[in-house]
Amino acid sequence: MKRYLMAMAVAAVTISMATAAMAFSGGAGIGADEALGRLKEGNTRYIGGAAVGPRQDAARRHETATGGQHPFATVLSCADSRVPVEVVFDQGVGDVFVVRVAGNVANTDEIGTIEYGAEHLGVPLVVVLAHTKCGAVTAVVKNEHVTENIGKLVAPIVPAVAGVKKRFVSADMDELISRSIEANMWQAIDDMYTKSPLLKKMAADGKIKVVGALYDIDSGNVRWFGEHPSNATLLGN
């Protein structure tokens, strides 16, 4: 009986979450915490095999084509094909403003795109989504030979890796890579604030929240880290 009741309770929660996901129509007017909650709920559905793939039909396409886009979150993620952002968070057309680039680095193009989302689209939440087994970070850790263009692309990762190697001199390669992936996530947030007076001011004024997260490409789970450990210092508060 207890197992039956537990199963019924889980089913009820799943149905409730799925119904809410299908009913949600946009991100206008919501805050960063609510936006974060929606991403967490979507990831829970995804890893639990209860994804509903909401807002992906003709009606949604027409709604966003005629009424514009109102995404509730911006996600800076790696270009890795194993990190399909809308799938990972079980969201639909017009829900998430996605910026994808190898190594989820925050450089001119990425930051400019994030600025557009924050200032012009009113997106309240920015997520830097790193992932396990990141090839870009691994290449920097191993000091692999890369083309000139790739070298410029991964340049923002270099200081994060250098810091890890300095702090963990006895770590093996797997640990160095793992720690560097996390450090690079924080580096992207640092770079965002350093290179964008707009994003820095919006974050300091509470108009946006910027958080870090790590996606496990095997389990599908997103681990949430929250704001930068030195957030107050970075924002000058």
Q: Read off the tokens for 193.
A: 């604030």
Residue 25 belongs to domain spanning: 2-235
Question: pLDDT (tens digit, 0 to 9) for every residue of the chain, 237 residues total?
Answer: 555 444 444 444 444 444 444 444 455 689 999 999 999 999 999 999 999 999 999 999 999 999 999 999 999 999 999 999 999 999 999 999 999 999 999 999 999 999 999 999 999 999 999 999 999 999 999 999 999 999 999 999 999 999 999 999 999 999 999 999 999 999 999 999 999 999 999 999 999 999 999 999 999 999 999 999 999 999 997
Give the pLDDT score at 22.
Answer: 44
Q: Alpha-carbon distance 76 to 191, whole Å?
A: 13
Give the pLDDT score at 168.
Answer: 97
Which residue, 23, 35, 18, 47, is CA-closest to 97? 35
Q: Alpha-carbon distance 53 to 56, whole Å?
A: 7
User: For residue 67, what is the DSSP state?
Assistant: H
Identify the bridge partners of residue 214 per DSSP, sorted by sequence position.
130, 223
Give the pLDDT score at 28.
Answer: 60
Q: Alpha-carbon distance 77 to 99, whole Å?
A: 6
Task: Give Cα 197 distance to the centre of its chain.
Answer: 21
Give the pLDDT score at 1.
Answer: 53
Give the pLDDT score at 175.
Answer: 98
User: For residue 117, what is the DSSP state?
Assistant: H
Q: Alpha-carbon distance 199 to 125, whole Å?
A: 11
Per 3-state DSSP, the chain is made up of helix, strand and coil in percentages (nearest 5) of 55, 10, 35
Instruction: CATH number of the domain at 202, please.
Output: 3.40.1050.10
Give the pLDDT score at 29.
Answer: 80
Q: Would you call 25 helix, strand, or coil by DSSP?
A: coil
Residue numbering of the annotated binding site for Zn(2+):
78, 80, 131, 134
Number of domains in the chain: 1
Radius of gyration, CA atoms only, the chain? 19
Residue numbering of the annotated binding site:
78, 80, 131, 134
